[in-house]
Amino acid sequence: MTETPALTIRRLVRNTPQAALGTLDAQGAPYVSLVLLAVDHDASPLLLLSDLADHTKHFRRDPRVALLVDGTAGMASPLAGARATLTGEIERTNAPHHKARFLARHPDAGGYAGFGDFNFYRLNLRRAHLVAGFGRIHWVEGSDVLLPVDDQLPLRAAEEDILAHMNTDHAAAVELYATRLLGRPAGTWRLTGIDPEGTDLRLGGSVARLWFDHPVRDAESARGALVRLARRARRPDEPTGER
Residues 122 and 29 in one domain: yes
Are residue 132 and residue 176 in the same domain, yes or no?
Answer: no
Q: What is the CATH number of the domain that holds 139?
A: 2.30.110.10
The separation between CA 230 and the C-alpha centre of its own chain, rounded to angstroms, equals 22
What's the CA dihedral at 66, 139, 98, 149 to 10 degrees? 150
- Among 147, 174, 190, give the residue marking a domain's end: 147
Same domain, 22 and 124: yes
Q: Does 70 map to a domain?
A: yes
**Tally of structural domains, the chain:** 2
Residue at 110 is within a domain? yes
Helix (H) or strand (E) holding 66: strand 64-70
| Of the residues 89, 113, 147, the one at which a domain ends | 147
Same domain, 229 and 143: no
DSSP 8-state assignment for residue 179: I
- Do residues 77 and 184 share a domain? no
For residues 191 and 100, membership in a common domain is answered with no
- Does the residue 238 lie in any domain? no
Whether residue 243 is contained in a domain is answered as no
Render pLDDT for 119-178 as a digit per residue (tens, 0 to 9).
999 999 999 999 998 889 999 999 999 999 888 899 999 999 999 999 999 999 999 999
Cβ atoms of 45 and 36 within 8 Å: the answer is no
The verdict on 77 and 168 lying in the same domain is no
* 90: three-class secondary structure by DSSP: strand
The answer to the question of residue 239 being in a domain is no
Residues 9 and 126 in one domain: yes
Please tell me whether residues 124 and 21 are part of one structural domain.
yes
111 is a domain residue: yes
Task: Report whether 51 contacts 112 (CB < 8 A).
Answer: no
**pLDDT of amino acid 151:** 86
Among 127, 149, 154, 126, which residue's Cα sits nearest to residue 138? 127
For residue 134, what are the domain limits? 5-147
Contact predicate 107/48, CB 8 Å: no
56 and 160 together in one domain? no
Residues 140 and 95 both lie in one domain: yes
At 149 the pLDDT is 87
CATH number at residue 189: 3.20.180.10
Whether residue 96 is contained in a domain is answered as yes
In a domain, 242, yes or no: no
Pick from 93, 113, 147: which residue ends a domain?
Answer: 147
Q: Mark the ranges of the chain whose per-residue pLDDT is less than 50.
A: none
Helix, coil or strand: residue 134 = coil
pLDDT score at 241: 58
Helical H runs in the chain?
5-15, 54-61, 96-105, 142-145, 149-169, 171-176, 219-233
Looking at the fold, whether 115 and 36 belong to one and the same domain comes out as yes
